[in-house]
Amino acid sequence: MGISSNSCPIFQNFLEIGGGLIHRNSQSDPLAISDILSFLGYSKIGVIVTNLSGLYIYSSSGAGNWQYSTNGVDWVNFPAVSSFSSLLLSSSWYVRYSSVNLDEQASLLWGAWDQSADQPAGINCCTNIFGGYTAFGSRGTGLGITVSVSGASPAPSPPPSCIIPISTYTVRDLLTSSLRKIGVIQSGELIDDSELEDALETANDIIETWMLERLMCFHIINQAFTLVSGQRSYTIGPCADFDTVRPIRIERAYIDVNTTNPVVTLDLTELNFEQYADLTVKTTTSPIPNKFYYETTFDPQFPWGRIFLWPTPAAANILQLWYWSQLPKFTSINQTINLPPLYKKALRYAIAVESASEYGVEPTPLLMDIAEKSKGLIKRVNQVLPVMVSDPALVSQRRTFNYLTGE
């Protein structure tokens, strides 16, 4: 099919697909290419020359075989692929991975294809020149599969860009480090739990004092919420749409698309106030939003925040949030804690300074200086800036000042 004028297709969303965990000598669940294109936000820019769509595969890895099918029943192994010899796949086809007896990671890399090239789907084609007025759009992300002998049934995993490491740091680690700062114990030496319980009380006293100073201390938690089709904004806080503690800050947000097998995870881009305000049509709908704006008031004690999603979700998928929440008092020396940057250091040195007198130790000037500066950094981070207000009557008159005449 010869086309004299064209514009390349594009992906509107940045998306990596976690293909899940499979057994050795087995196959991953088939994944429809039309679903991949939908999740990636496939679209055409400029002159529309065809309603067809597809993918070109320019890289594949794995000791097993990547396969494609035109009907979801009969499967063909991928040929060798590269930028100079990419495999063209139609949107009506399927892909899967067939493993061998190895523990391994397998992956695909792809780009958008509008099927306006002379070559049909199912053959290899040079895609080293892409974008602009070609049939091949800019390259997106890909699909990942994990193969394991102990693998359970296929289960989704978030892409690397969405993973926040789970903390294994405990209150015991924090307190032990603090006591080591004042020489109560040496490196590698263990301390009796009764001593740590005393340090735990000191730590909780510090947290309570900081709360009274409005110097809030936070930890990071993960929680999932179900979206409502057609609802653009959600309040979050006690008894709100998302009934939980009000986040101080959202660290990461992503969507679990639960209508597919395997589940697909899409990372959301955070917008600030100006960026969200610049969206001219905020009521645009899409099955999967790709941006969010978290609106808070200037008073950190206000019970609710509000999350705006764009485009407005048209499906009831799962919203996963990693967010900063106010840290309650520690309940046990074995409690696992996940503290944001700055807070671990500030607490460690504050506990060391406060505990020194109980052991007849004089904290060094350096130790006290670090403790003071670490706390000062948190104060600056948590500082609530004053908001300038003016009399509405004056604003409504729109009076101006002429610096030339003084009037």
What CATH number corresponds to the domain at position 191?
1.10.3230.20
Total structural domains within the chain:
3
Residue 265 lies inside a defined structural domain of this protein: yes
Instruction: Give the per-residue pLDDT at 5.
Output: 44
Per-residue confidence at 127, pLDDT binned at 50, 70, 90? confident
Instruction: Give the per-residue pLDDT at 39.
Output: 65
Contacts of 376 (CB under 8 A, 6+ apart): none
**What is d(CA 218, CA 347) in angstroms, rounded to the nearest whole number?**
11
Instruction: Choose among 254, 233, 263, 381: nearest CA to 322.
Output: 254
For the ranges 45-59, 127-141, 209-223, 391-405, which has the lowest average pLDDT? Answer: 391-405
Tell the burial category of 189 from Cβ atoms under 10 Å away from its Cβ (0-12, 13-18, 19+): exposed
Residue 391 lies inside a defined structural domain of this protein: no
**Domain end position, chosen among 279, 295, 325:** 325
For the whole model, what pTM was predicted?
0.41
For the ranges 75-84, 180-189, 291-300, which has the lowest average pLDDT? Answer: 291-300
One domain for residues 194 and 334:
yes
Q: 369-399: string of b/e by CB count within 10 Å (b at 16+)?
A: ebbeebbeebeeebeeeeeeeeeeeeeeeee
For the ranges 37-41, 89-93, 284-288, which has the lowest average pLDDT? Answer: 37-41
Predicted confidence (pLDDT) at residue 227 exceeds the cutoff of 60:
yes
**What is d(CA 240, CA 248) in angstroms, rounded to the nearest whole number?**
15
Predicted confidence (pLDDT) at residue 49 exceeds the cutoff of 50:
no
Task: Judge contact between 219 and 339, C-beta under 8 A.
Answer: yes
One domain for residues 287 and 338:
no
The arithmetic mean of pLDDT across residues 179-203, rounded, is 88
**Domain end position, chosen among 157, 187, 204:** 157
> What is the CATH number for 148?
2.60.40
One domain for residues 16 and 119:
yes
Query: Within 10 A of 137 (CB to CB), how many other CB atoms are there?
Result: 27
Q: What percent of the chain has pLDDT over 70?
A: 67
**What is d(CA 169, CA 203) in angstroms, rounded to the nearest whole number?**
16
Instruction: Give the per-residue pLDDT at 82.
Output: 83
One domain for residues 106 and 76:
yes
Range picked from 35-44, 123-132, 168-177, 252-261 for highest mean pLDDT: 168-177
One domain for residues 308 and 247:
yes
Cα angle vertex 385, ends 381, 390, to 5°? 170
Residue 358 lies inside a defined structural domain of this protein: yes
Predicted confidence (pLDDT) at residue 294 exceeds the cutoff of 90:
yes
Q: What percent of the chain has pLDDT over 90?
A: 20
Instruction: Give the per-residue pLDDT at 228.
Output: 93
Q: 30-56: string of b/e by CB count within 10 Å (b at 16+)?
A: bbebbbbbbbbbbebeeeebeeebbbb
Predicted confidence (pLDDT) at residue 47 exceeds the cutoff of 80:
no
Residue 404 lies inside a defined structural domain of this protein: no
pLDDT digits (tens, 9 = 90+) for 160-175: 333 344 457 889 999 9
One domain for residues 44 and 28:
yes
**Domain end position, chosen among 157, 192, 207:** 157
**What is d(CA 96, CA 249) in angstroms, rounded to the nearest whole number?**
39
Range picked from 144-158, 260-274, 358-372 for highest mean pLDDT: 358-372
Per-residue confidence at 42, pLDDT binned at 50, 70, 90? low
One domain for residues 229 and 259:
yes
Phi, psi of 106 (to 5 degrees): -125, 150
Predicted confidence (pLDDT) at residue 7 exceeds the cutoff of 70:
no
Instruction: Give the per-residue pLDDT at 249.
Output: 82
- DSSP state, 358? G
Phi-psi region of 102 (alpha: psi -120 to 50; beta: other; left: phi over 0): beta
Phi, psi of 98 (to 5 degrees): -110, 115
One domain for residues 213 and 225:
no
Residue 398 lies inside a defined structural domain of this protein: no
